[in-house]
């Protein structure tokens, strides 16, 4: 499994823009292949629904078929993500038409919905581990400044997290870490 898969075409972005497919992609635990049934059991979803979405991710190369085993006369297929992380190609972002923009927005919404679900589950569950949220608002940046800022944060985060996938280390618990930089859009005033 590669560290990063660079998404270079619209079909890949459309495939991962579905919130449920983001959840399937994130359900893989390290480099352990899983079947559609195992993922369905983990997510508490019907096998047919999971299988449908796996086929969509497989078709565009986000998931890979890595093994087939015969169990009770049935062929069970095992999958792995093509990479640990997905990144949209920078050159793809420069030639954005309406269809691409809509797919990119949907992909962003899907990822945000997944982050929101994780946040609310953690906030509602009284566990002794801390939850962190840093929020900075009303800073005025150019496109180049925010891009540079996010790239620096990403590089620092990747460096810090590079050896943190080992869940056998003592006293570790899983965390989801998200970085957002969103333009502030003021709502339109309502007319009385």
Whether 160 is covered by a domain: the verdict is: no
Query: Is residue 137 one of the residues assigned to a domain?
Result: no
| Average pLDDT across the chain, whole number | 81
Q: What confidence tens digit (pLDDT) does each residue in 56-86 have? A: 999 999 999 999 998 888 889 999 999 887 7
Structure tokens at 124: 């509602």
- For residue 149, being part of any structural domain is answered with no
Domain assignment of residue 16, given as a range: 2-128
User: Each residue of 11-33: pLDDT tens digit?
Assistant: 888 888 787 888 898 888 777 89
Q: How far apart are CA 49 and CA 68, in angstroms?
A: 20
83 strand-pairing partners:
2
Q: Is residue 49 part of a domain?
A: yes
**Residue 192 belongs to some domain of the structure:** no
Buried (b) or exposed (e) across 115-125, using 16+ Cβ within 10 A? eeeeeeeeeee
Given its phi and psi angles, is residue 185 left (phi above 0), alpha (psi -120 to 50 degrees) or beta? beta
Mean pLDDT for the stretch of residues 94-113: 69
The verdict on residue 114 lying in a domain is: yes
Is residue 112, in this structure, part of any structural domain at all?
Answer: yes
Q: Using CA atoms, how far apart are residues 182 and 19, in angstroms rounded to an integer? A: 19
Model's pTM, two decimal places? 0.59
d(CA 121, CA 127): 11
The whole-number average pLDDT for the span 30-46 is 89
Question: What average pLDDT does the segment 91-114 reach?
Answer: 68
Beta strands in the chain, from DSSP E residues, in sequence order? 2-7, 34-35, 63-71, 74-81, 83-88
Domain count, the chain: 1
Write out the H or E segment, with its range, that includes residue 24. helix 19-26
Take residue 6 and report the two structure tokens written for it: 């660079």
Residue 182 lies inside a defined structural domain of this protein: no
Contact 41, 127 (CB under 8 A): no
CATH code (residue 116): 1.10.10.10
């Amino acid at each position: 499994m590669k560290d990063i898969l660079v998404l270079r075409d619209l079909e890949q972005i459309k495939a991962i823009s579905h919130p449920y497919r983001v959840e399937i992609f994130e359900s893989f635990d390290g480099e352990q292949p899983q079947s559609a049934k195992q993922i369905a059991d983990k997510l508490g979803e019907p096998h047919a629904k999971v299988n449908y979405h796996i086929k969509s991710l497989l078709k565009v190369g986000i998931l890979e078929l890595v093994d087939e085993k015969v169990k009770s006369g049935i062929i069970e297929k095992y999958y792995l993500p093509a990479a640990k992380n997905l990144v949209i190609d920078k050159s793809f972002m420069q030639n954005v038409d309406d269809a691409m923009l809509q797919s990119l927005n949907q992909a962003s919404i899907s990822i945000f919905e997944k982050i929101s679900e994780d946040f609310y589950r953690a906030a509602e569950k009284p566990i002794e581990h801390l939850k962190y949220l840093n929020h900075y608002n009303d800073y005025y940046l150019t496109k180049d400044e925010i891009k540079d800022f996010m790239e620096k944060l990403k590089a620092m985060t990747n460096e810090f997290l590079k050896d943190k996938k080992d869940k056998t280390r003592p006293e570790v618990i899983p965390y989801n870490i998200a970085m957002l930089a969103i333009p502030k859009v003021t709502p339109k005033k309502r007319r009385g």
